[in-house]
Structure 1
Amino acid sequence: MAAADVLPIEPEDIAVILRDVRQADIDEIVEGLGVSLESELVDGIAGSLNARKIVVDGQIVAVFGDAVHSLLGSVGVPWLISTIHVEHHARAFLKVCKPEVQGMLTRHRHLFNYVDARNTAAIRWLKWLGFDFGEAVPYGPRHLPFYPFTLDREE
Structure 2
Amino acid sequence: MSRKSKASKLAFGVPTVQDIEFVTENIRQSDRDDISGIWPDMSVFEVVMRDVEKSKLVYGLYFGDIPYAVFGVIPASVSSVGIPWVVGTKSVDRNALTFVRASRSLVEMLQMSFPIFETFVCTQNSKSIHWHRWCGFKYENEKIKIGRDYYYRATRVATEKLSKRGDK
Q: Is 2:31 the partner of 1:25?
A: yes
Shift of 1:154: 2.3
Give 5+ residue unaligned stretches, structure 1. none
Structure 1: how far apart are the matches of 2:23 and 2:120? 21
Q: Secondary structure at the match of 1:123?
A: helix
Q: Secondary structure at the match of 1:130?
A: coil
How many residue pairs get aligned? The number is 153
RMSD over equivalenced CA pairs, Å: 1.8
In 2, are the aligned partners of 1:33 and 1:140 still within 8 Å (CA)?
no
Q: Is 2:157 the partner of 1:152?
A: yes
Amino acid corresponding to residue 68 of structure 2 in structure 1: V
Q: Is 2:148 the partner of 1:128?
A: no
Q: Secondary structure at the match of 1:66?
A: strand
TM-score (norm 1): 0.89
Equivalent positions of 1:2-151 (< 5 A) are 2-34=8-40, 35-72=42-79, 74-142=80-148, 144-151=149-156
Shift of 1:45: 1.2
CA change 1:71–1:148 in 2 (3 A) is closer
TM-score (norm 2): 0.82
Structure 2: how far apart are the matches of 1:136 and 1:119? 16
Identity rate of aligned residues, in percent?
23
Structure 1 stretch displaced more, 105-114 or 28-37:
28-37
Structure 2: how far apart are the matches of 1:89 and 1:60? 13
Deviations 1:95-150 (A, max 9, x none): 321121112221112100001111101111111111001124233233x2111100
Amino acid corresponding to residue 112 of structure 1 in structure 2: E
Structure 1 stretch displaced more, 128-137 or 33-42:
33-42
In 2, are the aligned partners of 1:61 and 1:89 still within 8 Å (CA)?
no
In 2, are the aligned partners of 1:63 and 1:81 still within 8 Å (CA)?
yes
Shift of 1:17: 1.3
Amino acid corresponding to residue 33 of structure 2 in structure 1: D
Shift of 1:18: 1.6
In 2, are the aligned partners of 1:54 and 1:62 still within 8 Å (CA)?
yes
